[in-house]
Structure 1
Amino acid sequence: MISAAQTPLYEIKANLFKALAHPARIRILELLAAAPDTAAPVGYLLAETGLEASHLSQHLATLRRHGVVTSVRTANVVTYRLAHPKISELLAIARVFLLDSLAGSSERLRIAQELPAGHLDSSGDVDSTGHLNSTAL
């Protein structure tokens, strides 16, 4: 059996990305990143996400289990905070990457739509009917 200390870093990274792999969790992290001191009470997160309390709780538990957020209870209020400031940077980098990728896809789509019907370009991005292959996006 492999101990946690022997787990390859790429497996640990994969588990982190699995924890982030839900739109609701990304939204929660974006809300926390934009909040003062990267922290917000559960009530705020409920209102902003529109999630049911049980679903929000499950998503927050997943993020907490993977060390992405921390929580503090003060009286009846539970406040969540990003566990590390680099999480905000990770979200920003993902946004830039996606916007750049979408811009490239839009350009390929524009070029493909200008091609005559039945044209197959050398990259295989366009099918025999002149439509952009979904795998090209």
Structure 2
Amino acid sequence: MPVPLYQAKAEFFRTLGHPARVQVLELLQKGPLPVRDLLAQIDIEPSSLSQQLAVLRRAGIVSATREGATVVYALATQDVAELLTAARRILTEMLVDQGELLAELRAEATG
């Protein structure tokens, strides 16, 4: 029996639900990077980064290619970059709305 679409989407978002994975994806938006560059920019142990990259690779969100002794990671599709951009817009809007609400609450408290 096939997995319902909503369940597949939930699994996809669970895959994205780790800060290190989101950091990796945001770094890869700028283009492919070798593991050493990812390690230099993310405060994480090499073994933990390896685990997070494996999760993203198994899900088909990133691809890995070997260049000699170096493994280079890239986004499997630009759709992931677009999703991260959309998430940034949504979060920005939410923060603006929260800031406006906070301003209203402060005005009521002092008014």
TM-score between the two structures when normalised by the length of structure 1: 0.77
**Could you report, residue by residue, the CA deviation over 1:43-73 in whole angstroms, capped at 9, with x for unpaired residues?**
0000011211001001101111111101011
Q: Which runs of 5+ in 2 are unaligned?
A: none
Structure 2 counterparts to residues 2-81 of structure 1, below 5 A: 2=1, 6-34=2-30, 38-81=31-74
**Could you report, residue by residue, the CA deviation over 1:78-130 in whole angstroms, capped at 9, with x for unpaired residues?**
0001011111100000000000000000100110111137xxxxxxxxxxxxx
Measure the CA separation in 2 of the matches of 1:62 and 1:39.
Answer: 17
Output the aligned Cα RMSD: 1.1
SS of 1:73's partner is: strand
SS of 2:64's partner is: strand
By percentage of residues, which structure has more helix? Answer: 2
Please identify runs of 4+ aligned residues in structure 1 that moved more than 2 A: none
Measure the CA separation in 1 of the matches of 2:96 and 2:87.
Answer: 14
2:97 equivalent to 1:112: no
Measure the CA separation in 2 of the matches of 1:95 and 1:42.
Answer: 25
Give the aligned length: 110
Measure the CA separation in 2 of the matches of 1:83 and 1:13.
Answer: 17
SS of 1:97's partner is: helix
Whichever of the two has the greater Rg, that structure is: 1
Give the AA of the match of 2:9: K
1:29 is displaced (CA, Å) by: 0.3
Percent identity, please: 42
TM-score between the two structures when normalised by the length of structure 2: 0.95
